[in-house]
Each structure stands twice: as C-alpha cells, then as structure tokens.
C-alpha cells in the first residue's frame, strides 16, 4: 500500500511541477527599450519605443520592466499620452526599476514624468492581447506594481509545491 501511495504522490509532484512551469512560460517579462532601457530617445528617433513595441506581442499576464535613471514612468490614458500630460496618472513610478503587470486586454499608455522628455519621444503605447487559451472575461485587471514583491513568484510557488510533495512522501514512507 505504501508503494502505491508513494507512486501516486510522485505523479502528483510531477503534475505540480509541470503546471508551475507552464504558468512561468505563459507570462513573459519585457524590458522596455531592450538593452538601452527607458530613456529619452535620440532626436532623430522619436518613435523608438513604439517601434520596439511593434516587434513584440504582449498578452494578458505579461510584464513590462522599466529600467531608468533620474527619470520616471507614468501610466496614463490615451489623451494624456498624446498630450504628454502626467497630471492625472493611472500609476506613477520613480524608483529606477519599475514593473507593470499587463492585467487586461487593450491599450496601455506610458510616458516619462518629465514633460520635455515625453515631447521628445519618451513614451510608449502597447496593445495587450487576450490569451489564446482562455476567454478575456476570465481575467480581472491586475493592479499596477513597481516591484516584484507584489506578486508571488513562480519559483516560490514551485518551491512550495516541491516542499509539500516532500512532506507527503515523508509521511507515506514512515
């Protein structure tokens, strides 16, 4: 009986590991601007961020990582985006390393908190697509976050799953 239970628990552990791996693969993290990060673009390259965005496909659950120095990131509505107006932000970040979780399908707009830099092209518009496997109504919007601490990390979930399986195996073996 113990051997059967141990086999069942082993299968359960493998299933949990596969589920955790699939969740990690499903959500991706994008460093805004690639290696250069979030900064004022060159004078002849004011469309830099939107060109960067056009080379990526963003889906619900993905994250945008803004890395910057002496700057800020402001999440705004469409009108504010086109007018570089940061007076009524959805979210504002100035810690130098900000993560925004794309929690719902639709358009997201980001600008520099410095109006002059926004006017010079430091702004980003991304379209977030619904995941292919689940209907969009299944997702509620996730709050904006400026750190990884607000989400339970995938590695933490995986560690917990293995710890739980290990405890179950110890119980069955003894």
In this predicted structure, what is the pLDDT of residue 22? Answer: 46
In a domain, 116, yes or no: yes
Is 60 exceeded by the pLDDT of residue 21? Answer: no
pLDDT digits (tens, 9 = 90+) for 148-157: 333 344 544 5
Q: What are the tens digits of pLDDT across the range 68-123? A: 999 999 999 999 999 999 999 999 999 999 999 999 999 999 999 999 999 999 99
Average pLDDT over residues 30-48: 93
Number of domains in the chain: 1
91: in domain: yes
- Torsion, CA 84, CA 88, CA 91, CA 96, rounded to 10: 50
* CATH code, domain carrying 141: 2.60.40.420
In a domain, 3, yes or no: no
> Is residue 17 scored above 60 in pLDDT?
no
Assessment of whether the complete model's pTM goes beyond 0.75: no
Please state the φ and ψ torsions of residue 58, each to the nearest 5 degrees.
Answer: -100, 135
Residue 166 located in a structural domain: no
- Summary mean pLDDT of the chain: 78
Q: 43: number of CA atoms within 13 Å, CB side?
A: 0
Q: Has residue 28 got a pLDDT over 70?
A: yes
- Answer whether residue 164 is part of any domain: no
Q: How many CA atoms lie within 13 A of 31 on its CB side?
A: 9
What was the pLDDT predicted at 131?
A: 80
What's the average model confidence in pLDDT over 144-172? 52
Instruction: Look at residue 102 and tell me if it is in a domain.
Output: yes
Query: Is 20 a member of any domain?
Result: no
Q: How far apart are CA 165 and CA 92, in angstroms?
A: 41
Higher pLDDT, 153 or 42: 42
pLDDT attached to residue 24: 46
Structural domain of residue 43, as residue ranges? Answer: 29-151
pLDDT at 151 (0 to 100): 37
pLDDT of residue 27: 85
d(CA 91, CA 40): 20
Are 63 and 27 within 8 A, CB to CB? yes
Highest mean pLDDT among 54-58, 147-151, 161-165 belongs to 54-58
> Which carries the bigger pLDDT value, residue 139 or residue 82?
82
In a domain, 64, yes or no: yes
């Amino acid at each position: 009986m113990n051997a059967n239970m141990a086999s069942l628990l082993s299968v359960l552990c493998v299933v949990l590991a596969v589920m955790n791996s699939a969740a990690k693969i499903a959500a991706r993290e994008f460093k805004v601007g690639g290696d250069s990060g979030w900064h004022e673009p060159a004078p002849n390259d004011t469309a830099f961020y939107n060109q960067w965005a056009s080379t990526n496909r963003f889906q619900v659950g993905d994250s945008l990582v803004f890395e910057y120095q002496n700057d800020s990131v402001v999440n705004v509505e469409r009108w504010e985006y086109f007018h570089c107006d940061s007076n009524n932000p959805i979210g504002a970040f100035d810690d130098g390393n900000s993560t925004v979780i794309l929690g719902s399908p639709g358009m997201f707009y980001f600008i520099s908190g410095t109006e002059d830099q926004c006017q010079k092209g430091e702004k980003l518009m991304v379209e977030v697509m619904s995941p292919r496997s689940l209907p969009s109504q299944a997702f509620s919007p996730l709050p904006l976050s400026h750190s990884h601490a607000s989400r339970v990390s995938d590695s933490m979930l995986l560690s917990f799953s293995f710890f739980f399986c290990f405890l179950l195996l110890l119980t069955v073996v003894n």
